[in-house]
Amino acid sequence: MVAEPKPRPEPTPPTLPDRELIETLSKFGNSELLDLFAEFAAKQEEWTTKMNYVEYLLHQRMIANKTKTIDHHKVSCQMGTPTTYPDMLMALRETVGEERWNKGFTPAHKETKEVDVPDKFDMRVVNGWKALGDHVTGVIEHATDPHSAKLTLKLKKK
């Protein structure tokens, strides 16, 4: 028994909001459509460049203000987790005490699948150490690279 191939469905064209525009574009020749496509692509590139600069400005302001989120009715704007440098945080071992240290630090070890796991700090715990004073706060802030946090901008659903 030979399996017969299933017929492929016709591709659905993208929807345009304007029926008149659809009819106009349908009358264009290939060269005109490609010119229009190139024009749209150039405009898209220009707008993308502008959007990237807006994102850059928001990122810099959020770093300067130590902000994690900005409330807006149309856009979700959230800062991700910054990179921390474990070598710099090691200097706090004597300062924070053994109990706190053990809660916030996991030493390097091998997992059961023989994967090397580097030293890790639980930054939710480590940030709590800032209550121990300016010296500890200074070390933690120095060991954290706020510029490494990714800014996420998403349009909210209507």
pLDDT single digits (tens) 126-141: 889 988 889 999 998 8
Quote the pLDDT of residue 2.
61
For 79, phi then psi, to 5°, come to -95, 135
pLDDT at 113 over 90: no
> What distance in Å separates the CA atoms of residue 130 and residue 141, rounded to the nearest whole number?
9
Give Cα separations from 36 to 18, 23, 25, 43 (angstroms). Answer: 17, 15, 10, 11
Of residues 13 and 44, more confidence is placed in 44
Average pLDDT, the chain: 87
Of residues 10 and 68, more confidence is placed in 68
Q: Where are the beta strands (DSSP E) in the chain?
A: 69-70, 75-79, 83-84, 105-106, 109-110, 116-117, 120-121, 144-145, 151-155
> What distance in Å separates the CA atoms of residue 7 and residue 89, rounded to the nearest whole number?
62
Query: Other CB atoms closer than 10 Å to residue 70's CB: what's the count?
Result: 16
Cβ-contact 114, 106 below 8 angstroms: no
**DSSP strand pairing (75-79 vs 151-155):** antiparallel
Quote the pLDDT of residue 3.
65
Q: How confident is the model at residue 36 (pLDDT cuts 50, 70, 90)?
A: very high
Q: How confident is the model at residue 54 (pLDDT cuts 50, 70, 90)?
A: very high
Cβ-contact 43, 54 below 8 angstroms: no
